[in-house]
Chains A and B, each alone.
Chain A
């Protein structure tokens, strides 16, 4: 059970949260071409090591926020603001 550092509520069990994915930037939909859009939809860095990711505090403040996590050791630290 990870301890997730919620910036609004403090550290809480990961069962209160939902993992919301790698941080990604949404392309401009009016100009986007299929390769770029589908890369946004489907491709992930999937890095082994420290990653910046988004979590949602479902059973808490219901805020999305960033954390940094080492996907090899599951060590977690607060994410720097985007």
Chain B
């Protein structure tokens, strides 16, 4: 299609006239030019409506022609909510309007406009109450009005990455002041990062007159010549967090992705400039009502003629410059209405586009363009995030940064004051030097402030209009809300949703507060502004997530497990074999012959030093003073509140050398726990802790023939029961590998040896065990078979058979707790707990009367039909007994052996089970274990 509104080449234009770009809008093909934004290309082609408003479905056109334009949000392919007044055109883009039904031109919801007087802000709080159960139905109708674009569950995943940058000084905003600050800081020796939201540096000079363009060329030349500056364009400092931790969003990366750049800046210079503020009057949202800066951008950067006949309403030089630009390119400016002369506009006329304007003096002009330049808003968001509260400056008629800035944050440019380009540059330069000095650790002298120019305070004309276009909130809504008691900036915001939309108040907040002030008779100083919250510019989940990095840990035998059909089990960071297909058979093989299981994730801490026994006595509830060299002991750890938090065995390898094992998930916490005691309570104790979890591959060899199997591989260790009895540890050669450890313990309840071999030999030892034991019937078994076996033996799992309140006394570990020790972690609670032991829940073994019934873990045990009196913590079918077996926590009066308890199953049915005399269902005497 042709471009009837495209101007002849303009001096500052960013277009490449040799490169047409074809794209689709709302199903039709259009042509733009390289350098166009989606909106400038459409405007040039004569399209003036880009969206329908959220609530009343009013047609909306360009307003600011920048990223914050509330009316130019579109869908591009799979990407929702694209800012079409910022996003550059790309060939083949499929651009669609977002909230129009059935079409942008004929939107059915436009009837809401007629109902506007009934649909005042917050109307939904006052209706749809009865019946309450129908609210979701109303809600689902209302949710069709949601103004955003569409997502797809299978949307293609762009490539996102993150970058850590190292900058001394970060300058947010590359207008004249920001440019000058960056150059000055770099010249003072700082590493500088200059971040600009637009596609090029220069700020407002880019759409200025020939003198501005000449000045920009000079500034740019200086910038380019300065080596210490990295310039990021189409990028935004989105957040300033504690201690100048900065988030920078880099947009428009190759492939379309966004990138999050993070840096700890020594100093931050905020040079975000000013945002032009819309004016509130009837019809202010019609297509054809645009801001002065928008006119200047469209004409000078994108060579678009925004209309044919215009009225310009101005209170400042920007409006005058816009009028001059319009006249220069042949737009007839029928009237410049100057607020400084007491003139004003009353309303814009028209239905789909501005057709006329009515002035306060009653004159009407037929126009298709109404330009307003009535004031500025300082986007102080980043300063806000640094703890600074903006203050209202009645002279400048805008909020300005408050006096208290952290000494690592500076501000320059329009955000702090007004000035000629030279004054802005001079201020920026001084601030840049100060920022560099501060980054070197010096205390720079204060920079003389930039002055402000008087500006009339203008927010609303004599009529009511839209205060927040993206939320469809009018000034009348604000007045009504205030009358209802929503009369502070925060309450009015929450009630009307003004400032809650996509631009987060950059255009809307000042007008909202001003209209509220009018309504409640308070001024801007009294009302203050709402808090600006990060991010300064919206940032995609993809950029925030980056390349999702969730590392996993695998044992040296992992590849073997995979090759042998193991079902993976995600256990925290570790991936473990759950089974190799038939856990029941694996468990039976262990009971019958011998099996091996990879227990590498088991936490292992090496303890060395003369005071290890003291440490063990302190952290375990049982006694450790008399552990002989070559012995191991099981221990339970409690926190200071007496709650069990980990368990494991510790062995004494040499006089002052111990190895402690912990649960897989508890390894890190236990290590920190030990360090805590050693560093903060007993700094005089000589103990050194070294984590060895992944230094060793760990294999448990379990079953009646485990000794026979191991004997074929072991050198230097006498495996006979007399020489190497239960609960002993030995070191030696296994399968030719030196420095291996074997301890005789048995979580499975069988004769078993846990061997720890240097990790790099893990696979070798594993395969050798299997090969060598083939004739013995050796199998590899997984975590599930181990769980069956340990449950048969009645060995508890901390965290499964205990919970966040289980103390050692109630966990079936009473026998271990040695209260006659002077001190150990949790002792006082356990002492007092032992005095009212009778109240504590007990861990018991249960067997359902129906041997085929395996109650789900978590099933509740009830007393007197419905009162909860316990729960099943572990439950499996036992291959050894051919029946179901459980562990359970029950109230003490149900815990007596032989008691029959009632279990409520998930389907609501009930089953009975008998409390067993001891926790072990299989081999309670322990003869297999100790054999």
Contact = CB atoms under 8 A, between A and B. Distances in A.
Q: Do chains A and B touch in the complex (CB under 8 A)?
A: yes
Interface of A: 1-3, 13, 18, 20, 26, 29-30, 32, 34, 37, 40-41, 54, 56, 58, 62-64, 73-74, 76
B832 A74 contact: no
A18 B672 contact: yes
Contact of B680 (A2, A29, A64): A64
B264 interface: yes
B640 A41 contact: yes
A41 B825 CA distance: 12
B242 A2 contact: yes
A56 B676 contact: yes
12 contacts: A1-B245, A3-B242, A3-B245, A13-B264, A18-B672, A26-B681, A32-B828, A34-B828, A56-B676, A62-B675, A64-B680, A76-B243
B680 A1 contact: no
Nearest to B679: A64
Given A1-B245, A3-B264, A30 B822 contact: yes
Contacts of B245: 1, 3, 13
A20 B676 contact: yes
A56 B242 contact: no
Contacts of A2: 242-243
A74 B385 CA distance: 13
Nearest to A73: B387
Nearest to A72: B387
B823 interface: yes
A20 B827 CA distance: 21
B827 A58 contact: no
Contact of B672 (A1, A37, A58): A58
B641 interface: yes
For the complex of A and B, 8 pairs with smallest distance between CB atoms? A1-B245, A3-B243, A64-B679, A37-B828, A74-B242, A29-B823, A2-B242, A29-B827
Interface in B765-806: none
A1 B164 CA distance: 14
Contacts of A13: 245, 264
Interface in B668-695: 668, 672, 675-676, 679-681
A62 B241 CA distance: 26
Contact of A56 (B672, B681, B823): B672
Contacts of B640: 40-41
B675 A64 contact: yes
A40 B245 CA distance: 35
A62 B680 CA distance: 12
Contact of A30 (B243, B672, B823, B832): B823
Contact of A34 (B242, B679, B822, B832): B832
Nearest to B244: A3
Contact of A1 (B242, B641, B823, B829): B242
B641 A64 contact: no
B828 A56 contact: no
Given A30-B822, A30-B823, A1 B243 contact: yes
Contacts of A58: 668, 672
Contacts of B827: 29
A52 to B, nearest CB: 13
A41 B822 CA distance: 19
A79 B510 CA distance: 43
B123 to A, nearest CB: 40
A77 to B, nearest CB: 12
A73 B243 CA distance: 10
Contacts of B680: 54, 64
Contacts of B242: 1-3, 74
Nearest to A2: B242
B450 to A, nearest CB: 27
Nearest to B264: A3
A37 to B, nearest CB: 5
Nearest to B675: A62
Nearest to B387: A73
B145 to A, nearest CB: 38
A59 B34 CA distance: 49
Nearest to A56: B672
Given A56-B675, A64-B675, 7 more contacts: A2-B243, A13-B264, A18-B672, A29-B822, A30-B822, A41-B640, A64-B679
Contacts of A26: 681
A64 B822 CA distance: 25
A2 B243 CA distance: 6
